Homo-oligomer: A and B are copies of this chain.
């Protein structure tokens, strides 16, 4: 015998729930999610809350306590609720992951206990990384509170923190135990955060589903004026497409080279870094989408009419399609994207709305012209902002 071939298959299941007022005593969802197991009860549960959410939701910590008390046969609050800052600060400063791990240790959580994180994508990412590594994995329940986290990052299989100046450098692929999207948390979002998460919906529509793109076009005014039914539909459809892609890609933990869900993301990641994270992820993604769509048009892949629909929709949603850093040192972003992905460069482009395809090289000259085109569009926009259209900068 010269070698043993090992092959294992691992199945993961989780549900993404939609609700409002998750901590109302009359809402049995969180209790039911935990009680669905045949474990010994009560289960230990520890909460991590995004500081921004805590500030805007007076009495949240108290509501959590009351909820646990009300359901004490199933849920046992295992320690004080931890408040950590939101945004990239949560992922940049190693203190926060250390704080969460210490709290998990002190609470004596085991693999059948629950860490519940309530917040935007960054807080879910850092708490998710802690949950995935403590005891090699305690159960993680995500309660995303931003549009971006509810429709995209919070429903997927990744977690991470930043290190060595590289975004998401440390992390794992790990499925949550459950995701609970509580629409009520969206009410207190700033306009920037409300808008920002729509970029990922535009992205997934562009590469996967033209009818979803039509829907967003159709509801653009309702979405920007914060009409809830439209936003709830958008989030559900976006999350569904995102989940379906992960389940059907054949490579959910990205062992191969392709990451088709990352359309527009090579420039987006670099822009976040170049703006020192002053640009929100969704805002950067909107510019990245505009850039790669323009590149598709100038390269002859995408018809002009379709390209204009893309930039028009982004502008209609209130996104900028250009930022001065785009004319800066953006191209190293291609190699950083390749390195993070692994293997050769793979970039998703568009043949038409709803139909993505992959290329393995980028023509720098055409990309530079694409940036110029976006700069011009941006200048025209700034000169003539239509009444009622919101701008982010």
Contacts and interface: CB of A to CB of B under 8 A. Distances in A.
A18 to B, nearest CB: 6
A28 interface: no
Contact of A240 (B4, B11, B134, B341): B4
Nearest to A102: B164
Nearest to A180: B3
A172 B253 CA distance: 14
10 contacts: A2-B18, A2-B19, A8-B13, A40-B343, A105-B169, A111-B341, A132-B172, A133-B172, A137-B172, A137-B255
B105 A163 contact: yes
A17 B101 CA distance: 37
Interface string A7-45: 111111111111100000000000000000001100000
A136 B254 contact: yes
A342 interface: yes
B164 A105 contact: yes
A243 B133 CA distance: 23
A344 interface: yes
Contact of A137 (B101, B113, B173, B246): B173
Contacts of A239: 4
**Max count, chain B CB within 10 A of own CB: residue among A5, A19, A132, A135:** A135
Copies in the complex: 2
A133 B257 CA distance: 17
Contacts of A254: 111, 136
Given A133-B172, A137-B173, A160-B136, A11 B12 contact: no
Interface residues of A, number: 68
A112 interface: yes
Contacts of A160: 136
A251 to B, nearest CB: 9
Most buried by B among A132, A171, A342: A342
A386 B133 CA distance: 47
A51 interface: no
A227 to B, nearest CB: 18
A252 interface: yes
A60 interface: no
A120 to B, nearest CB: 20
Interface string A88-102: 000000000000011
Contacts of A39: 343-344
